[in-house]
Every structure is written in structure tokens, then in C-alpha cells.
Structure 1
């Protein structure tokens, strides 16, 4: 089962936000995240807040769209009562779980609620995640007709044995089909890959990169497999049934991916993300990394508005009860002070291509820059120009870079 929610202050029963959220609002965009917590099977490595059919206990997938619509309406009222000016949503992202386990009519209904509540900026990015075996050509055409602009496919690997270890159920031969169908529907395409799976070789990873690049996606994400406590994979490793992922091999895989993607015309813009030009970066994910406002809809979804962060009750049944009663689904929240916001800005901005102004560092952090240049982890020319920007080697050591810029 997914991990517990953070410990913090209780969220107000009506979801009310403090007056402080209005400060600086003109400089912040509004994004909307809609969490769809359903999966056909639970992958052994996954610790996301997702549920298979036999785990729902008191919640129904058929009712979910109406519950999400109710939270969107509630969100509109909360933001208005807080004194925030009307803002159109600049990005909308359906994640999960597998959003495309729901009928396309449900996703369209949820998106229409966002449009009715806030409207969309011109050229807004509207994305859904999808498993390759959860959509067909008709489904993708319906999404495009409903206003979606982008689909992110969970490809993970092109090697059947690697997919089996991850407990992914799709046939890798389906990847070219779903990409072609998405293109025909007029949707931008992103592919998600995972590297460092136990037993995965460099040849396996090369094959996955070859297949992914052959699809010419607009965007590609490549994430190192992380063994999360409490997952089936963690238990298998603990019992010796599966080998622990090897950090050195994972580093080789990352460097190979970055080199191959650069050769193919993709630019990295965050440690795990590459795109064909600035226009194909995931604007929704960038909103997280740059401290914009977003409202997270659904069980366990997190939100952030003007330095106030909160999260919803975790289980779909508890969420359904709150929404049926007309109550806020908020479970807890925290108000970030200026220093916490600065620290988080450093943590996130360092991982991006645009980097971080050295002026955002304190004296100790600025003093660490010279050593990081000497280690080859940050770019010397950029530092002289007043920015911290990671080198390729530095991207592999991003957590270590942050720990030196933000010593305890």
C-alpha cells in the first residue's frame, strides 16, 4: 500500500486559505492536477497512491468523475474567498494511477469542470498519463476532441524481461501503435522510461532508447528506479529473490541516455527530462519546480498556493465521503516560512537547466561553489555569470550538490 501522508497541521474543514496567499499572485501561474487513483494491477516497484479493484473498499470508479468535479467547484470557491484574482489555468495534468482506466467521457467531464471554473489560457497545456494498453485510436481522438493537447505514455522499457521484473503488463510492440494513434489525433507525445531495473543490462537499456527514439517523441523522461520501502520489490530484494539495483550501472545508463538524446536533438531541462526544444518542455512539471500555484484534485493529491501547501485524505472511500458531505477533502497543511521557501527553491532549481542564481544561496552555499566547480559538478562559466548550473556529471550527483549548497 502507498506510504502515509505527511504529518502537519490539520486542514480547515472548509479549506479556507489565509490572506497571505494573495501576496505576489501576479507573478504566479495557476495549474491544476487531477489524480486518478486507479490501476488494473499494482506494479511491484510503485508506492504511489493508487488502488486496484479489490483495494477500493467503499469507493467506486463509476462515481469518481463527479467527486472530482465537486472538488474543482469547491476549489474555485476557496480561491475566490481568499481574495485571489481570477486566473485561467495555464496547465492541466491528469496523473495517477492510470487516468485512462476511466472512460474518456469521464476525463472530458473533469476537464470541462476545470474550464468552467477557471477557463484555460490560450495555448494551455492539457496532459494525461496513459498506459500503452489502456487506450486505442478512438480513445485518443476523443481526448483530443475534448481539449487534451498531450499524452504521456508509460513505456518504461522495450525489453519484455525488464517489463516483467517491473510487473508492467503492456506488450512493448504496442508502443509504435499508440504513438502513431496519438500523432494522428493531433496530440503531443511524451514517453516515460525507467532505468536500473534489477537484471537490466546496458544492452537492454540501449534497446529501450533505440525504440523510444525511433518514435520521435516530443518529450522523454528517464527515471532511475528507486526501491521504496514497503513495496513488493523492496521485500523481494530483502529476501534475496531480486538483486539490488547497481548504482554504477544506473549512472552509466544515465550518461548513455543523455548522450544519445543529445545526438538526436533533445535538450535536457531537468535532471530526468528532455524535450525537442523549449516549446515541448512539460510546463506543468516546470510549475512545480519553479514554485507556481497548483490545485491538486483527488485522494492524496497535494496542492500549493502562495506558500501554503496541503494534501487530501488518502483513500478513495474517505475522499468520496468528504465530497458527498460537501466538506473539504484536506487532511493536513503547512504554511512555508521564507527560509523554507528559499531552501525548496534551491532544491528544485538546481536540478533544472536554467539553474539557480547564486544570489539565492546563503554565505555558506556561495562558499561551496568553488569546490563544486573543482569537482566538475557545476559549470564554471555559468558560476562566473552568477548561476549554479549542473554539468552532466553534476546531474548524477545532484543530491550531493544540494547537500553542499544547503549544509545542515
Structure 2
């Protein structure tokens, strides 16, 4: 089994952002005892290694939620568990997400001491009004300050996430965010269009008329603004929503997009091992109770059929700059090639024009098979 990854889900947040529908919990919703969580997590990794022949990890990614709430010591303890039960290969990429408001120079020093090689910071925007609409807690300058602290500590690989398309956002807000990002010197940028999910605080505010709906017609122009600005500054796109300087690509996410294998540990995490995909229970208390009883906390298992694997190869692969194997697509590629949306050779890949329409291209290609 090549290119094996480990994903760890930390389900705790100090507060809930208005747009978020991830499996996260605040102190008012569940017992956010880090000790209980870490004990259960260690037990899951132990049972995983005992029940399957897992190779050492090429990549580790700790996400959430807010992993930085555990502090460098808590995150270091997680790495120790992975090393003990699964193993981490020399030269592995080891990433943790972090919220800017729960980081400090000492925190980044601690991460390096424990073996982390990469940090991903949630910036979202440099605009105070936009951050307020998103219910983000950090001030506009904190994310870029945290990125500089991480770089000063010695991290070579630092990512900043941004979101575009927030209600009330302007093109100038996007330009200011990009200017702030470029001023830090980070080697990776992720930019995601806002999706208003049902059940979130933001969707309720829009439904009540307290916020205008996102301006979907502006998404394309803002994406082009982001792409043009980053690419002019030396960041190459390698996935539709991700740009990096040479060598700064996120190896763990590439493992997902290329159909690799990984074990996902923590409440709500999911794993893909061979032709099997399985999902953990979501509630932290049930997760801990199941592991205390000596059982893996799997809530659902799904077989990855050839049809599912083919769908995912095309759907995810066409989002990558490298594209997909020519033989993996049997739909009407020539129509999209004539429209200048894809290139066809040994591999099929979207053009710059096609990046804006990749979801529709995938749907059409699969429908025409």
C-alpha cells in the first residue's frame, strides 16, 4: 500500500463560525475534555493497528475543529501515538490546522520540536466586516501575524486559507486579503468560494433577511482575480482551489485527490483502505464510550465499487492541474476540447478557462459515457 496517510479529527472549537457545518462542538454543546478525547484517540489508533496491516504514514494531517486548542503539547502527544501504533516514515509531511487566535511564537516553536513540518492557518479575509459576517473571532491582522510567526520559527511550509463570496464582501476586500497574504511570504494559499449550508447560522440569517444572499454571479470574477494575482506572484495552481510555490504543494491533500489510502481517526472521521470506506460516529461522547468498550467507533461502512472509484477518479482528478489518464474518461471529451475547456493527450486536463466550469465538465463527461 503506497502513499498512506493518517488524518486526525479534533472536534472542538471555542465558538462556532456562522458558515460552518463541520463535525465540531463548543464547550456549551459537549464535554470538551482534552484528556478524554486524547485517551480515546490513542485507543482508536491502537485498535486500528491491531486490526489491519497499516504501513507507516507518508503524511499526517490534524484538522478540525480547532487543533490548536490542544496546544503544542497535546498535538505532540497525538504524533507520539501515531508513531507508537502506526509509525511515521522519515521525511513525512506532518501538518496541523491552527486558528490564528490560539497560536503564538511559543506554540510554533513547540510544533517544530514535536516534528511538525507544515501549518495551515484559517485567515478567511483581511476585512473586519467580512470576518464579522463569518463569525470569525480573530482580528484582520492576526492571521498574517501568525503566518509570520510560523515562518520565523522555522516552518518552511505555511498555508493561509481564504474564503471569497461572503455576503457584503467587495472586490476591494478580496484584493486587500490577497495583498496581506502576499506580504507574509507563505508558500501555499487555499481559496474557497463560500457555500451557505442548510442548518448553519448564516443560512438562518439569510432566510430571515438579516444578510443578503451571496452574489453567485461574482464568484467567477473573484476567482479570476485570485488566480491572476497569485499566479502573477509566483504561485502555481495545482488544484482548482489551491496554489503553491514550487515544492509547497500539500502532499496529504494530493493523496486524497489521487485516490490514495488513509486512516481517519477521531469523531466523524472517515477512512479509505483498499475497497472499503468507513465512517466514525460523530458525537465525541459516543466515540469515547465505544472505544472504552474495546470497539472501533465505526458507524457505517461502504464498499468502493468500480463505479464509485471511476466517478471519484474523474471528479477529483479533473480538479488537478495534472488531470486524469486519457483511458479513464470515455465520455465526449472532444466537445469540451473544441470549446477550449480541456486539453486531450495522454492525460485530460482542464484549461484555465475550464477551471471555472470544472464541476459542469465532470457532470457532462460522466453523463455522456
> Could you say which TM-score interval applies, normalised by the shorter chain?
over 0.9
1:286 aligns with 2:254: yes
- Counterpart CA distance in 2 for 1:292 and 1:374 is 32
Match of 2:230 in 1: 261
Task: Determine which of 66, 87, 101 is the counterpart of 1:133.
Answer: 101
Residue 194 of structure 1: CA displacement? Answer: 0.2
Match of 1:306 in 2: 274
Moved over 4 A (4+): none
Name stretches of at least 5 consecutive residues in structure 1 with no aligned partner. 1-24, 81-85
- 1:128 is paired with a residue of what secondary structure? strand
- Counterpart CA distance in 1 for 2:37 and 2:73 is 12
Match of 1:69 in 2: 42
Match of 1:55 in 2: 29
- 1:304 is paired with a residue of what secondary structure? strand
Residue 118 of structure 1: CA displacement? Answer: 2.4
1:29 aligns with 2:3: yes
- Counterpart CA distance in 2 for 1:320 and 1:185 is 35
Question: How many residue pairs end up in the alignment?
Answer: 367
**Cα RMSD after superposing both structures:** 1.2
1:78 aligns with 2:42: no
Match of 1:10 in 2: none
1:209 aligns with 2:173: no
- Counterpart CA distance in 1 for 2:87 and 2:267 is 23
Contact 1:255 1:392 in 2 (8 A): no
Residue 106 of structure 1: CA displacement? Answer: 1.3
* Alpha-carbon displacement from aligned partner over 1:341-388 (angstroms, at most 9, x marks no partner): 1111111101001101221013xx1xx211112222213xxx0x2322
- 2:350 is paired with a residue of what secondary structure? coil
Match of 1:11 in 2: none
Match of 2:15 in 1: 41
Residue 59 of structure 1: CA displacement? Answer: 5.5
Residue 122 of structure 1: CA displacement? Answer: 2.1
- 1:172 is paired with a residue of what secondary structure? coil
Contact 1:44 1:232 in 2 (8 A): yes
| Structure-2-length-normalised TM-score | 0.97
Match of 1:359 in 2: 327
Aligned ranges for residues 9-408 of structure 1 at < 5 Å? 25=1, 28-56=2-30, 60-80=33-53, 87-187=55-155, 188-277=157-246, 279-362=247-330, 365=331, 368-379=332-343, 383=344, 385-407=345-367
- Counterpart CA distance in 2 for 1:324 and 1:159 is 45
Contact 2:123 2:144 in 1 (8 A): no
Instruction: Tell which has more relative contact order, 1 or 2 (C-alpha 8 A, sep 6+).
Output: 1
Residue 244 of structure 1: CA displacement? Answer: 1.1
1:309/1:136 Cα in 2 relative to 1: closer, same or farther (>3 Å)?
Answer: same
- 1:190 is paired with a residue of what secondary structure? strand
| Structure-1-length-normalised TM-score | 0.88
